[in-house]
Chains A and B, each alone.
Chain A
Amino acid sequence: MDRRAFLASAAALPTLAQLEAPRTIPKYRVATTYKAAGPGVGMPGAYPGRVVTVHSAKSIDEVTEVVDVPTVREMIARGMTTLTGDRDSRDSWARFFNAQDVVGIKINGSGAPGAMSMPDVVAEIVRNLGVVGVPPANITIHERGGGQILLAKYDQFVPAGVRIASVDTWLGYDPDVYVEANFFGEEDTRSHLIRMVTSQFTKIINVPNMKDHSASGVTGCLKNIAYGEFGNVARSHYRFQTETYSFIGTLAAVEPLRSRTVLNIMDGLRGVWHGGPFSRDKRYRFYPKQMKFGTDPVAIDRFLIDVIDEKRKQEGAISVWNKEPRYFGTTPQWQADPSINRFVRETGHIEYASRLGLGVYDVTKISHTEITV
């Protein structure tokens, strides 16, 4: 079935035949003038197939949602040293960053202030960059959407000089770096990389929030760095269908984004188990009270699936893998009932990204260390 025929036949809800039809990967054209930095740089980076999870029951108060800053400091120090094998966390940070670096911290603001990369976590990352000599003026906390990043109020948590920016406020998009594909007959077929990434940053720290996602199944490292650094991505959703399965990995693999994303710190103090990526309904928030560390986004996201699915199971909701037609409904139905899908969930996007060389998906090949502080 070609795309035009598909569009003509696509109703509001999918049929079993449509769901079981062989998946076709859209034809992508990647335009970039950048080359890969070399083996071991970027994603999956210096520690492929390695994930460190640090838990702490006292990291956040579930009632007030106040973060315990000393605990977060300890969690990050333990996570980093365990990842790198150093005794002193300063040595761990120094493996990734030095005073000459210009660092972009890619937060997740979709759902702020109810769901976001916590400002306390981001502030502690900024503090550690300072310890290894990165001046505040060389640090940019950023997000694609301008409104979302302002809601998080990061400026109140970080030293003066740290830039808070979005594509609306600084540099726009890079005209020469984009992914072109025609998904559903949309007229604008390009998704451009934000220019901060290409013209400013030497390194990027990816700080996603632990969340369910109605289209991609879950949203973690890969989706945050892909859909969060490129424009015109909502076009990959049409009725019940999305192309998140292959688009997320394709975007994340584009240079220089891939080579410059050297560290992933997943904020799981507070998360969203249904209704994501936003958090319009507080009853779908939960408190995993953990953080995940690694250079391999696929490996971290692989365990994110388990966290979200486990919580959904506890709540009696369908799995993030469930695609049965009987569970599809309208957006209001999906908002009201965690066992309703509004899109075909593409949780498989993480495994697909592993096939692009972005990391290790097979849990038997991932070294996963869990620590409690």
Chain B
Amino acid sequence: MKGAFAVFLLVLTVLVDDGQSPVQLRLHGGPAASGLVSQGLLAALPADASGFQAVPPPGLRNVRNDAQATVAPWVDSNGWRFQRGLTRANYEKLPAGASLLAAAEAFTFAVDAIVNPDASDLEELGRLLAFLKTNSRPAMPLVANVGIVDDGSPEMGEVLNMLTRRNLLYRVVPQGDRSLPVTVEVGAPAFPREALTNPSDFAARVREALGDDRRSVRVYGTSTVIAHLTGDDARARLHLVSYSRSRSEASIRVRVLGRYRPASVVAFGAPDGAALTDVRQAEDAATEFSVPAFNTIAIVDLERVK
């Protein structure tokens, strides 16, 4: 019993309310992170890790296109894999700096993960894990604007990747589900199969079908932040994860569809007392606010205005 209690303390606990019983999610530390395990910031490696699927390190690449004024940032996020149903991720090999992002995205998308940090990350990763532990809350239902009927193909995977990178909020739905404003089913007139050959163009079709005004979240002032929104009738919680090379973001502007009162913001790397600023209720029933500068992850809690 005493041992079981100790194990309980070692896990970073995230409670997920999936409509049934709460589930404990864990971030497990690989051999390099034994110190963080002993501090109770990571769980020990599971006895059987075979159920954990290897995922690539998250990060950012800069892609230079000919005759373009600036380089285009290419976000490498595993968010789409998690949205597709992967619930156990193994970040097998993480270059320096990537473990914080791995922990942040696993936390944001509420998946179990094994994190093998580079030794140079350990100190900062420890601070981030403590931050995540302090700010973990029972999860709420995912907010999405687009339903995707996933055929499981690599091409559709790349479409999901593009949708994630562009903050077009979606969830995978069964065939025939029309509960969201837009349903994407390959083969429908608006989404012909041949369009899958160009995932970027396909994602643009989805955006066009939805329309920017109907999007639950817009992020301005950055092209390296991925937003993840959950909520219910009374509240919403917005995770913002920075994939910029330094993982830092200057003040960014966010628009959330619906009338909300900001309840709190916690931003890793921000000074104590950092707050949302310039909160506005837009005429089109949206709430806008500026998020303080942060590193890696910021979490905004909103209360719906009745």
Chain A residues within 8 Å of B, Cβ to Cβ: 4, 7-8, 12, 168, 172-173, 175-176, 182, 185-190, 192, 215, 231-232, 234, 237-240, 330-331, 334, 342-343
Contact = CB atoms under 8 A, between A and B. Distances in A.
Given A4-B204, A8-B198, A189 B67 contact: no
Contacts of A12: 66-67
B212 A189 contact: yes
Contacts of A168: 250
A190 B70 contact: no
A48 B223 CA distance: 40
Contacts of A331: 66-67
A215 to B, nearest CB: 7
Contacts of B70: 234, 237
Contacts of B66: 12, 239, 330-331
Contacts of A240: 67
Given A238-B68, A330-B66, A342-B67, A192 B201 contact: no
A240 B66 CA distance: 9
Contact of B204 (A172, A185, A231, A239): A185
B219 interface: yes
B278 interface: yes
Contacts of B220: 188-190, 192, 232
B290 interface: yes
A4 B69 contact: no
Contacts of A4: 201, 204-205, 208
B69 A7 contact: no
Nearest to A8: B201
14 contacts: A4-B205, A7-B201, A7-B204, A168-B250, A173-B253, A175-B253, A175-B278, A186-B223, A188-B219, A188-B223, A189-B212, A190-B220, A239-B68, A343-B67
A330 B204 CA distance: 27
Nearest to B288: A175
Given A172-B250, A188-B221, 12 more contacts: A7-B204, A12-B66, A175-B278, A175-B288, A176-B280, A186-B223, A189-B212, A237-B69, A238-B68, A239-B68, A331-B66, A331-B67
B169 to A, nearest CB: 13
B50 interface: no
Nearest to B251: A172
A110 B219 CA distance: 28
Contacts of B166: 187
Nearest to A242: B69
A330 B68 CA distance: 10
A190 B223 CA distance: 12
Interface in B261-284: 278, 280
B291 to A, nearest CB: 11
- Ranked nearest first, the 6 interchain pairs of A and B with the lowest CB-CB distance are A237-B69, A175-B278, A342-B67, A234-B69, A234-B70, A190-B220
Contacts of B290: 175
A169 to B, nearest CB: 11
B222 interface: yes
Contact of A237 (B68, B201, B253, B288): B68
